[in-house]
Structure 1
Amino acid sequence: MKKLLIAFTALFAAFTLAACSTSSAVSNNNSTIKVGVAGSEEAEIWSNIIERGKKDGLKIKLVHFTDGNQINAATQNGQVDVNAFQHYYYLNQWNKSNHGTLKAVGKTYLAPTRLYPGKGITKVSDLKSGDQIVIPNDPTNEGRALALLQTIGLIKLKHADLATPNDITNNRLNLKIIPVDAGQLPQQLKTVAAAVIDNGTAHDSKLNPHSAIFVEPISSASSVWINILAANANKATDPNVKKLIKLYQTQTTKDLFKKYYPTEIPAWDTKF
């Protein structure tokens, strides 16, 4: 009887271990990660990554937001595991302003911003005294737009982490530089001389990037504008996050950028 009890106990233990092993395998094969994104940004890229993730045992669920602050807040409090919408500069400023602990976990792409011509303008030299130029009104992209106008030679700025129109020290053409909501910039081209428009907004509005009269130059200073995958610090080493990064940073993804977003430069293995 004792031998029978020992044998039964061993058999039960083996069965339990096998069941746990099977359960663990099922769990690992059905891992889910929530990714916060802005609208339909890079939809073709993500659609492909989602399909590749299924084959690799990772279920990727996109959670769509309309505001970057909301995406970072949701990442901070755990509503999403990782997000994909911002560059290093935006992340650093958000962390400072919100006492955040978000961390860049992987590079994605660099998207140079552009100056698009408005009414009666075909080149930068067409701009004349008193012309209106609209720029994004959110602090990060407003500062980037002003830096672009300084690079062109239209204005000079005093040193500021987040430049605003108040930081303009020289405006040789007395241009009227007006911050507006980023989503309204393309429509403003009908009435203003020019607009500084980020790549995502231009793409969503079907603006031809080749129509731009100036493109943000790429240099070592561009590193702050590289877009990233960002996660809460306690999620940075999560296996699912690492698997997502590996799926993203591939030649397949590069080929998709070349096909659908040729103005965006894959940045994870590129030196600027």
Structure 2
Amino acid sequence: MKKKNIIIWAIVVVVVIIAGYFSFGGHKAAQNKTVTIGIMSGEKQEDAIWKSVAATAKDKYNITLKFKKFTDYSQPNKALAEGDVDLNSFQHYAFLNAWNKANHSKLVPIGKTFITPIRLYSNKVKNVKDIADGSTIAVPNDATNESRALFLLKNAGLITLKKDTDLATVKSIDKNPKHLQIKELDASQTARSLSDVAAAVINTNYAQAAKLNYKSAIYVEPVNKDSQQWINIIVAKNKDKNKKEYKEVVKAYQTAKTKKEIQKEYGTAEIPAWNIKLK
């Protein structure tokens, strides 16, 4: 009987240990989630912002954020579509729409992050009006950013575009009174071209990487109701758009803490956009 009692107690102890594991250790393991996000490399300011978001995600939602960095805009969506990352955050609505169309894909936005007015920089002139006849202007060569750059040149009064132009290319230019030469370059190369061209339209992340002061730009894209397509977003696969932990990543980003971090790192060069009102 004594031996039987020992066996019974041994079984009880094992059951308690197993139950304890699933109640505490197992539960903890289930709640500790990791999400990998694709972002662009070479952006210390963005790294600082995501470090802040990662701390919020960990503290509030027990989500560990990991990051995979890419060197050009053609990579992060492909990585997401192929499952190399869980989410990405590098693009605006217009870029995503164009990529989905070109690649027959169904990546979807799940949260807004910020909007960055694109800018025209020059090492040779201080005012758009001083750009000489026949000058060369560098623009990004990816479809959406090239379109955005051409609309910037239109708004700056340097060119006009054909009526009802949506996604602009150099073929969309209607009038070019200064006979400007439009030089299409990879977005990452536009800042480096400044010594060779009269002016260049440069995305803010690449301007920051090149240590250009955004306040030195000779023209800034206006932010208004037409700017919705340029708001940057967190993107997921369509099948994952309602995944709880991905929604929590968005919540971790869209906080007053993140807003302060954006303002700290970028000043007014980058504008938090999850609750922005475009007039």
Aligned residue number for residue 133 of structure 1: 137
Contact 1:142–1:164 under 8 Å retained in 2: yes
CA distance in structure 2 between the partners assigned to 1:40 and 1:131 by the alignment: 30
List per-residue Cα deviations over 1:185-240 (Å, max 9, x = no partner).
12221232111111111111110111111100010010000000000012112222
Identity %, equivalent residues:
41
Letter of the structure 2 residue corresponding to residue 270 of structure 1:
I
Larger CA deviation: 154-163 vs 21-30: 21-30
Q: CA RMSD in A?
A: 2.2
- Select the residue among 34, 37, 40 that pairs with 1:38: 40
- Select the residue among 37, 47, 52 that pairs with 1:48: 52
CA distance in structure 1 between the partners assigned to 2:14 and 2:140 by the alignment: 66
Larger CA deviation: 23-32 vs 44-53: 23-32
Which aligned pairs between 1:162-177 and structure 2 lie closer than 5 A? Answer: 162-177=167-182
Letter of the structure 2 residue corresponding to residue 38 of structure 1:
M
Asked if 1:154 is matched to 2:158, the reply is yes
Larger CA deviation: 17-26 vs 199-208: 17-26
Letter of the structure 2 residue corresponding to residue 53 of structure 1:
A
Give SS of 1:53's match: helix
Asked if 1:22 is matched to 2:28, the reply is no
- TM-score norm. by structure 1 comes to 0.91
Aligned length: 269
Contact 1:139–1:162 under 8 Å retained in 2: yes
CA distance in structure 2 between the partners assigned to 1:64 and 1:16 by the alignment: 41
- TM-score norm. by structure 2 comes to 0.89
Structure 2: give runs of 5+ residues left out of the alignment.
none
Structure 1: give runs of 5+ residues left out of the alignment.
none
List per-residue Cα deviations over 1:127-147 (Å, max 9, x = no partner).
121111111111111111001
Contact 1:85–1:227 under 8 Å retained in 2: yes
CA distance in structure 2 between the partners assigned to 1:33 and 1:63 by the alignment: 11
Aligned residue number for residue 82 of structure 1: 87
Per the TM alignment, residue 26 of structure 1 is displaced from its structure 2 partner at its CA by 1.6
CA distance in structure 2 between the partners assigned to 1:118 and 1:175 by the alignment: 17
CA distance in structure 2 between the partners assigned to 1:109 and 1:124 by the alignment: 27
Cα gap change, 1:255 to 1:66, in 2 (>3 Å): same
Contact 2:72–2:188 under 8 Å retained in 1: no
CA distance in structure 2 between the partners assigned to 1:48 and 1:33 by the alignment: 15
Contact 1:39–1:65 under 8 Å retained in 2: yes
Asked if 1:241 is matched to 2:246, the reply is yes
Contact 1:118–1:195 under 8 Å retained in 2: no
Which aligned pairs between 1:1-272 and structure 2 lie closer than 5 A? Answer: 16-41=18-43, 42-56=46-60, 57-119=62-124, 121-158=125-162, 159-262=164-267, 263-272=269-278
List per-residue Cα deviations over 1:215-266 (Å, max 9, x = no partner).
0001001000000000001211222211211111111111111111121000
Per the TM alignment, residue 161 of structure 1 is displaced from its structure 2 partner at its CA by 3.4
Per the TM alignment, residue 11 of structure 1 is displaced from its structure 2 partner at its CA by 8.8
Cα gap change, 1:29 to 1:75, in 2 (>3 Å): same
Letter of the structure 2 residue corresponding to residue 70 of structure 1:
Q
